[in-house]
Homo-oligomer: A and B are copies of this chain.
Amino acid sequence: MTRSFNFSAGPSTLPLPVLEKVQKEFLSFQGTGMSIIEISHRSNYFEEIMEQTEQLLRELMNIPNNYKVLFVQGGASLQFSMVPMNLLTSYNTSYYVNTGSWAKKAIAEAEKYGEVHVQNCPIHHIPKLSLDSISLVDYVHITTNNTIEGTKFASIPNTGNVPLVADMSSNILSEEYDVEKFGVIYAGAQKNIGPAGLCIVIVREDLVGQNTLHTLPTMLNYETYVKSNSMYNTPPTFNIYIMKLVLEWLKQLGGVQQIEKINKEKAALLYNFLDESTLFYSNVHIENRSLMNIPFNTTSSQLNEQFISEATSAGFYFLKGHRSIGGMRASLYNAMPIDGVKALVSFMKQFEMKARMSNV
C-alpha cells in the first residue's frame, strides 16, 4: 500500500503509527477478544482511556488545575450555541471578532440568545486589536485560526477581566498557547485530534454552572459534563481512544513546542514557494499566515482545475479550495509529514514549468 498525501481541511490526515496501532488491536483490545468499539463506556478499560486522554491533554497543553476538560459531541458547531447558552449570565451581551466564515456562523448562533457586538476584520488580515478596556459583556469570542481564509491571530488579544473564548478547531495542539489567557477553548477533533464526532472543551471552572435558565438542555450544559466526567450519557468512545493514541504520538515526538517548530518549517516551505512563484500566490497578510491551512491560487480558474485534477492523479488529495473562496488549499496539520509538503512543492514547481512552456 502506498500512503497518499492528504491535504483535507478536516476530517484530515492522521499519524500513520496511530492508524497502524488501531488496525493491529482492532479485533481484540488488550487481548480481551472484543473490539474497542464494542467495549462498555462504564468499564474499567474505557474509564482508564478517558482518564489517560485527559491527563495527556493537560500535560501537552499545560492546562491549569482550575480548568475542566470536557468531551462533547456535536462538533464545534454545537459550541456556537453552547458558548452563549452557558456564558451569557450577567450582561446578556457578547463581543465577537469576525475573522471569517466560521466566526460568522458562531455570531449567527450567539445572536439568538443575546446582544452581540461584532468587530469585523478584513478577510486576509487580522489587525492588532485593543480589547483590554472592553467591559459590560459576558465574553469575547475569537477564532484563533481561520480554516477557510487561512489566517491566524498573530497574538492573543488581552481582554482583561472579560473571559476570552476561542474556537481553536483548526490549530489546537499545533502551536503553544497559554491556556490561562482563555476562559473557554473549544475544538472539533477532526483536524489535529482524531476522527470527526468529538469536540474538546477546556473551560475555566468558575464559568461552569452560571446559567440557571431552566430551559438549558441537559446535554448543552457544561455543568452536566463536569459533574459526570463527560459520562452523563454514552461518549464517542472510539474517538476518545484515537485521541489518546494521537496525544501519545505527539508527546513522544516532543510535544507542542516541537510540533510547532516542525509546523513552521512545513508552512515556510510552501509559503516561500508561493512567494517566489510567478504562477501561484497567497493573498494572506504575512503576519497572519496560518500554519495549518494555506489557501493559494493562480490567476486562471482553468489552470486551478487542471492543477487540482493532476495533483489528485499524482496522489495529492483534497487540494480543492473551500467553495466560498475557490482556488486551492493545502492543510498541513500536525500529522502531515514534511515529506508531503516537499513533494507537493516539487509537484507545483513542475506544474508551473509545464504551464510556462505551453504559454511560450
Query: Which residue numbers of A lie inside 8 Å of B, CB to CB?
Result: 1-4, 6, 8-14, 19-20, 22-23, 26-28, 32-35, 37-41, 43, 73-78, 80-81, 85, 108-109, 112-113, 188, 190, 194-198, 214-220, 232-239, 242, 315, 317-318
Contacts and interface: CB of A to CB of B under 8 A. Distances in A.
**Ranked 7 nearest A-B pairs via Cβ:** A197-B236, A4-B33, A81-B217, A77-B233, A73-B73, A37-B195, A8-B40
Nearest to A224: B77
Q: Give the number of copies in the complex.
A: 2
Contacts of A242: 37
**Most B CB within 10 A of own CB, among A195, A216, A220:** A195
Contact of A317 (B9, B12, B23, B32): B32
A194 B237 CA distance: 11
B35 A197 contact: no
A239 to B, nearest CB: 6
A6 B36 CA distance: 12
B23 A38 contact: no
A219 B79 CA distance: 10
A217 B19 contact: no
Contact of A19 (B3, B12, B35): B35
Contacts of A39: 6, 8, 11
Interface centre among A19, A34, A198 (most CB of B within 10 A): A34
Contacts of A34: 3-4, 6, 13, 317
Contact of A198 (B197, B214, B216): B197
A27 B18 CA distance: 10
B40 A9 contact: yes
Contacts of A10: 40, 234
Contact of A75 (B14, B233, B239): B233
B26 A78 contact: no
Nearest to A219: B78
A34 B232 CA distance: 34
A26 to B, nearest CB: 4
